[in-house]
Amino acid sequence: MLGSDNPAKTLIMKGPDREQKYSVASAKWCIEDGDIREDVPYLICLRIECDSVAWEISFPEVELFDSYLQPGFVSSLPESKKESESDLFCGDHHPTYDNRLEVLERKDKSLLLKITGKLNEGDPDQTVPVTELEVTAWFTKVNCGGRDVHNKCKFCGKTYFSRSATNTVFLCPDCYGYNRCICDYGFGPIAPCDILLGDREVGEILRGDNSYSLAIYGTGKTIRLQKGYKELEVYKEAAELVKQHLEQHKNPVKKSFWRKLFEH
């Protein structure tokens, strides 16, 4: 077992041809509400940030409290063909599989965790080379969203605070540039979809019978979108319209939303 005096702080990505190592800059954890309808009332949510790579993982648990996370605690999703609530961001984002969490040590609310997983950039149902992932680091508990993260704008270079959720478009609060999205594209509908300016909800993409529309909060209007589902063109169109609105008004309205506290 690694001791507190010498914890590894490296994300290792080992593929068939090479091994890459990234120094861990930040590691956070929290307990989040899951979906009781799917017998997953709790999630252990993790966020690992390196210079150019980030890994977000959620481990579902039927019963879970903060006090359960002691040395020896293990959580995993062993089915290699089942996609978990996880994404590795390295230029693009890809799901990871066979994720496993082990608590090695605990100091108050900080956890020394060993996380392993597999990255398959192709079809997980096909036999293709995979990249094995492993990281051991101290994780700090956060109180309002284990997936609250800092993003770096690819246009202006500014770093900004945001949060991650299913079906979300991320805009930079400084230059209003469209940085990325998280969505169910390829697996299900992409609307409704929240549009975030930093950590503020400023709009939403809505789905009609045969069309998409955009609601920009504070305007009381919806705009019919012309683009469609293919290659997420409707996301790019909506992001550009919101950017134009923000450039004209400079004062976006924040839609209130409930930020859960994860203290047990």
Contact 160, 176 (CB under 8 A): no
- pLDDT given for residue 115 in this prediction: 93
Contact 190, 181 (CB under 8 A): no
- pLDDT given for residue 127 in this prediction: 53
**Across the 264 residues of the chain, what is the mean pLDDT of every consecutive 10-residue run?**
53 84 89 59 83 84 82 78 62 79 92 89 58 91 57 84 76 92 71 85 87 89 89 92 90 40 27
Is there a domain that residue 114 lies in?
yes
Tell whether 130 and 23 lie within a shared domain: yes
Tell whether 65 and 159 lie within a shared domain: no
For strands 131-141 and 10-14, give the pairing.
Answer: antiparallel
Is there a domain that residue 46 lies in?
yes
Question: DSSP letter at 254?
Answer: P
- pLDDT given for residue 150 in this prediction: 64
Q: Residue 197: left (phi > 0), alpha (psi -120 to 50), or beta?
A: beta
Tell whether 54 and 72 lie within a shared domain: yes
Is there a domain that residue 51 lies in?
yes
Contact 99, 88 (CB under 8 A): no
Tell whether 79 and 118 lie within a shared domain: yes
Distance CA 73, CA 255 (A): 39
Tell whether 213 and 121 lie within a shared domain: no
- pLDDT given for residue 186 in this prediction: 63
Tell whether 18 and 76 lie within a shared domain: yes
Residue 249, Cα to own-chain centre: how many angstroms? 30
Q: Provide the number of structural domains found in the chain.
A: 2
- pLDDT given for residue 145 in this prediction: 45
* Residues spanned by the domain of 19: 10-141
Which token pair is 31? 């307990």
- Which of 55, 127, 135 is CA-nearest to residue 89? 55
Is there a domain that residue 93 lies in?
yes
Whether this model's pTM surpasses 0.75: no
- pLDDT given for residue 37 in this prediction: 46
Tell whether 26 and 122 lie within a shared domain: yes
Domain boundary among 114, 141, 168: 141
Tell whether 228 and 178 lie within a shared domain: yes
Is there a domain that residue 260 lies in?
no
- pLDDT given for residue 261 in this prediction: 27
- pLDDT given for residue 91 in this prediction: 64
